[in-house]
Amino acid sequence: MIQAFGLTSNPRKELPPAVDDVSFEVRAGRVTALLGASGAGKTTVLRLMLELQHGRGLTHFRGRPLHRIAHPSREVGVLLGDVPGHPGRTVRGHLRMLCAAAGVPVQRADEVMESVELLSLRDERLGTLSRGMDRRLGLACALVADPHTLVFDDPVGALSVREARRLHGALRAHAVQGGTVLFSTADPKEAARAADHVVTLEQGRVVADQEAVDFARTRLRPRVAVRTPHAARLGALLAQEARSARRSVEVVREGGNRLAVYGSTCADIGEAAFRHGILVHQLADEVGDMGPGAGVGADACAGDGGSAGVPSARQRAADGERAPAPRRPTVARPSPTGPPRPTATDPPSAGSAEADERALDAGRGAGAAVPQASAAGTDQPAAPGNPHPPVAERTPHEAAEVPGSIARRGSTPRTHATLAPGTTASTLPPPISVRSAPSPLRPLRYEIRRALGISTGFVVGAVVLVVSAVMAVILARIGHTPQARLLAAWPRELPLPPAALGAGLLGALSFGDEFRHPALAADRGTVPRRLGLLTAKLLVSAAVALVLAALAAGTNAEVLHLFYGRELARIPSDWSALGAGWAALVVGCAWAGVLAAGLFRSTTAGLAAVVAVPVVVVPLVQKVWEGPDVRTAAGFPLRVREVLLTQWPFGGERYVAEVLRVVVQPVGGAMTLSLTTLLCAYLLTTLRSRTR
């Protein structure tokens, strides 16, 4: 369950806080709607709960705040806005990357794609998905780690009626399995249909916290829509009978042949029309804010005078359901285990989905708060939105919703609950029975999938190789370039060779893409500053940099051999020292890009830090290193070799001396100084974020 205590956002300047002392509770096994008009503070409340925004208050997810949960993605599945994924990544690649981040098998990606009917679009790019497909992918991303809690912000905004039913069916199925579901909406009818509990916000404060039945009765006043060619005569008869029986019934003529009757039922109106021989074209339940014309897609009452919203005998026989008791309310939501039961707001045929959508859009602007007529002396029907249907109607999956009988998710095998009513078999993914233990390889697997999932790295590598080869040919043609710099395609006029710049750019992209397309934002509010993730990025960027450096040197040598013969392509005699320096340069550039991009949250800042090392830091280091009052470190590698009296296996002391020789050079010293500074700054910000 979720418990929110005193959520208050930080005020801006002299304005009052957007959210002020919001407290509520979301129980497991139920769907809770956070209702409010635009600007009421719904999104701010969710962001405060998920620690995405600074403020006061505390939120417990099953007794623990989010920052105290070791693996938040396994506890809370979140979708705020669009799916935060790279537009060039495929659907399957994005889900597999999230599987690696959550530490679950990659087969989980296919399971969640099948559950939301995205298998046919597994190779589509995220940037080409429609709004409905994006919502399905968001649901799949939230279900990857099999979380206990789902938190969605306006999940059905701008969706068609069919897609909205599909998503609400998925949320209902998750709650039936014992999970906790919280979603925000600005539509009262959606809250009454899809939720069991409604928390209403107004100007950043909680103004109502009530069951869906009470909410529908007080906020969505029920009525009966009647269409008859004798509207005036039927209205007069209903008013006369109500006065005779001393009942509070209000009849409103809405133009043409349409009546809106408050305080009565379909059964009473149908019986009155039958007694007086009045032809009735439509008799349907509605709620008070649906507006004129919304009854076109509503369900007509049974011709035998049955209660409002109850399916006909033929429909019940087709669905295999028992007939509910007369005058009993029904649940205005899709069933998680089969086709939806006809309700006052759910059309009986799939072909009327477009008409229902137009009707809902037409009535969305109508007033929601209509004063309720007195129902003294009448058997007033309950409003739509009752979270607990009659026992005769309750399916085995719905039985888990009753308080006191909710089983914890994962304690019993999950049954396959249908997501999309009236569509092909679409089921919730099966639970993850075996949780993988924390492993140091999990961030590494995530980073490898992140780097290989898009073509940016391959394009950058190809451009670097082409530019490096062209520059090597031009430098050899001009002459006056040492062979070592010729193989690296590094003219003296440039601060860095193309391979080093490419390695720095790829390192900056490894963290820059995280902040531009934050696929991990739902895990800890922002891109998590974990040392495991940083280590994985440093390892992968170093490996990519070494591969790029080797390919660049090899390509340059082959091109020079092709154009000018073997003389310019021969291996230098001091190749070990040159190779160590070359590898240290490209790896240092890659690490500088990673650390700077992670510190400043920008790819541009990471690349700027790489370029600043030879342009700014090297001259400063040279000036300090060659100053008259500072002793130089000449002969430092030789003295280190003398200190290391023991002989290393395979001549390891020689390689240590070569590395130290690179470090004491101005470029090596500047790179070491920059990396040390960036690493300390990154660790400092990491500690600050953990102590908040």
Q: Give residue 385's pLDDT band: very low, low, confident or very high (50, 70, 90).
A: very low
Q: Which residue has the higher pLDDT, 328 or 590?
A: 590
CA distance 311 to 302: 7
3-state secondary structure 49-73: HCCCCCEEEEEEECCECHHHCCCHH
pLDDT digits (tens, 9 = 90+) for 173-186: 999 999 999 999 99
CA distance 113 to 118: 5
Mean pLDDT of the chain, nearest integer: 75
Q: What is the pTM of this model?
A: 0.69
Confirm if 192 and 162 have CB atoms less than 8 A apart.
no
What domains can you pick out in the chain, each with its CATH number? 2-217 (3.40.50.300), 220-351+358-383 (no CATH), 441-691 (no CATH)
pLDDT digits (tens, 9 = 90+) for 107-145: 999 999 999 989 999 999 999 999 889 989 999 999 998
pLDDT of residue 302: 37
CA distance 30 to 226: 34
Buried-exposed string 545-556: b where 16+ CB fall within 10 A, e elsewhere: bbebbeebbebb
CA distance 500 to 82: 36
CA distance 373 to 251: 11
403-407, 443-447, 670-674, range with the lowest pLDDT: 403-407
pLDDT at 492 over 90: no
Helices and strands, number each (H, E), in the chain? 23, 13
276-280, 284-288, 402-406, range with the lowest pLDDT: 402-406
pLDDT at 498 over 90: yes
Host H or E run for residue 210: strand 205-211
CB atoms within 10 A of CB 346: 24
CA distance 59 to 23: 9
DSSP track, 519-538: TTHHHHSBS---HHHHHHHH
CA distance 121 to 136: 11
Which pairing describes strands 149-153 and 22-26: parallel, antiparallel, or unpaired?
unpaired
Q: Which residue has the higher pLDDT, 208 or 401?
A: 208
pLDDT of residue 487: 87
Host H or E run for residue 182: strand 180-185
Query: Which residues, at least 6 apart from 643, have a Cβ–Cβ distance to it below 8 Å?
Result: none
β-partners of residue 214 are none
Host H or E run for residue 222: strand 222-227
pLDDT at 391 over 70: no
pLDDT digits (tens, 9 = 90+) for 289-323: 543 333 333 333 433 333 333 333 333 333 333 33
pLDDT at 526 over 70: no
Confirm if 31 and 211 have CB atoms less than 8 A apart.
no
Helices 603-612 & 575-600 angle (0-180, nearest 10): 140
DSSP-derived letter for residue 305 is -
Q: What's the CA angle centered on 589, arms 585 and 590, to 5 degrees?
A: 120
Helices 666-691 & 603-612 angle (0-180, nearest 10): 150
3-state secondary structure 644-666: CCCCCHHHHHHHHHHHHHHHHCH
